[in-house]
Amino acid sequence: MIERSLPQPAEDQALGGELSRLKTAIKNHVQSYYHTNSVRGGVDQVALGLIATGNMPLIASTLGSLLSNPVTRMTAIRFCITWTVVSRIDPNCEPSLSFLPPEIASCLLSINSTRDDPSTKPGFMSRWKAFTAALLHDRYGSSTVTASDARNRNISEALQALNAVLSPFADEQRDDRERVQKLEEILKRGARFGFTLFSQPSQLDFDWNAPPSAGRGTLVISPALTQVADDSGRRLPRPRVLEEPEIARGLETYL
C-alpha cells in the first residue's frame, strides 16, 4: 500500500527536457552578459580552484587559459557554469559543496562509504531514495528555493566563487546586479533539478565523456544524462541516454 502511494517516476522525456532547458538557460545567460574582449590580469586561481572540484574533465590551469582566451571564452564560461551545477548535484559530491538537501547529502556520504552486498544495495537505494524524497517533498520539492531553504548556504558560496571567476569577463554595458541575480537563478534551478533526479528510483548518471566519433580537440560543455539502473535498482545492460551531450569541437590548439 505504501509503495502504491509513492509518486510515479518522472518520464524520460521530462528529465531529459529539464536538463535541456537548464542548458539553454546557461547558453542564453552567457550570450547576454559576457564579452570576448581582451582583459588585464588572469583568472582568480583561488576561486577557480573552488569551482574545479571532483573529477572535472579539465585541469584548472587549462580551464583558466580557455577563459582568458577571447576565442574560447564563451565555450569555457558555459562549461564553467554547467560544471558548477552538475558536479554539485552529483550523489558523490561532498556535503559541504552539494546542492542536494544537507540531510540527503550527508546520508549519501555515509551510504557511499559502506561495503554492502552489491546484489541488494541498489534495490535498497532505489526504495530509500523514493521514500526519502516523498517525505521531504514539502520542504524541497517546491518550484522555488526560498530564503529559508537549507541549500542556500552552499548555493551562495558557489555563486561567490563562480562570480569571482567570471566577473572580469562581464559585459560592462549590462546591469551587473542583474547578471549575478540571473546566475543565482541558474544555480537554484540546478538545485531543484538535483532533487528531482534524486527522487527517481532508477539510477541516473551524468556522462562527461565525448563519444569516440567526436575525435580530437573536443570538449563536452554539457554532459549526457543516462539511466544506468532501472526502478528496482537492476543494472541495465547498457546505459540509456535520456539527453545527449553537447560538444564543442575544433579546440585542438587550446586543449
Q: Which residue has the higher pLDDT, 120 or 87?
A: 87
Lowest-pLDDT range, 10-14, 84-88, 117-121? Answer: 117-121
- This prediction has a pTM of 0.94
pLDDT for residue 50: 93
pLDDT at 136 over 90: yes
Quick check: 158 pLDDT over 90? yes
Model confidence pLDDT, tens digit, residues 229-239: 999 999 999 99
CB atoms within 10 A of CB 154: 22
Long-range contact set of residues 18-26: C-beta below 8 Å, sequence gap at least 24? 18/193, 18/196, 19/193, 19/222, 19/225, 19/242, 19/243, 20/243, 22/85, 22/186, 22/189, 22/190, 22/193, 23/82, 23/222, 23/246, 25/186, 25/189, 26/78, 26/81, 26/82, 26/85, 26/186, 26/222
Evaluate whether 204 touches 18 at the Cβ level (below 8 Å). Answer: no
**Residue 219 host element (H or E):** strand 219-222
Rounded distance between C-alpha atoms, residue 125 and residue 129, angstroms: 6
